[in-house]
Amino acid sequence: MPTTPATATHSSSNGTAEAIMLELVDENGTTIGTAEKLAAHQAPGQLHRAFSVFLFDEQGRLLLQRRALGKYHSPGVWSNTCCGHPYPGEAPFAAAARRTHEELGLSPSLLAEAGTVRYNHPDPVSGLVEQEFNHLFVGMAQTAPNPEPEEVGETAFVTAAELAERHARAPFSAWFMTVLDAARPAIRELTGPSAGW
């Protein structure tokens, strides 16, 4: 596996993985502590900071990713362009840009804040729970993705109509529609009314 800022930061000198820590928050998004990543997702879940990215091409198509089959949480399902968790003390915007590059090998040509949303979504397959205070970002992807295979199984650019068809027949992440609906005003502003978002 290539060394990325994520793997470099969380691998110790003797080759053992160090725990990945998440930032716990209250209902207003104020930091109140930290928790180990897996522990924060075990039922009933601990409210923690997260981010979701939605990137579009110049035709107004959304870049989706299918999560790699080896991921411990929601493997093999389709989801938004990128999602994840800032490290404790890391700005959500910086984390969103970092993980988009680590997972998809691209840097957005534009990335803008699109609000926040708080949700509680259990994953029926794994039993894990997404209790998240999620920072939303929308932007433009002007280069082709080059996915990291341990993170991303495949990618697809879709129109709003194609997304509706795909969502009706393929499994998507439990949080996908919640974050998409919360980001829609910013998406419409970015893509214009003709894109249909």
**Catalytic-role residue among 23, 82, 83, 151:** 83
Per-residue pLDDT band for 39 (boundaries 50, 70, 90) equals very high
pLDDT of residue 124: 80
**Catalytic-role residue among 23, 103, 130, 132:** 132
How many angstroms separate the CA atoms of 190 and 185, rounded? 9
Give the CB-side neighbour count of residue 13, counting CA atoms within 13 A.
0
Is residue 82 flagged as an active site residue?
no
Whether residue 68 is predicted with pLDDT greater than 60 in this model: the reply is yes
Task: Record the pTM.
Answer: 0.90
Is residue 132 flagged as an active site residue?
yes
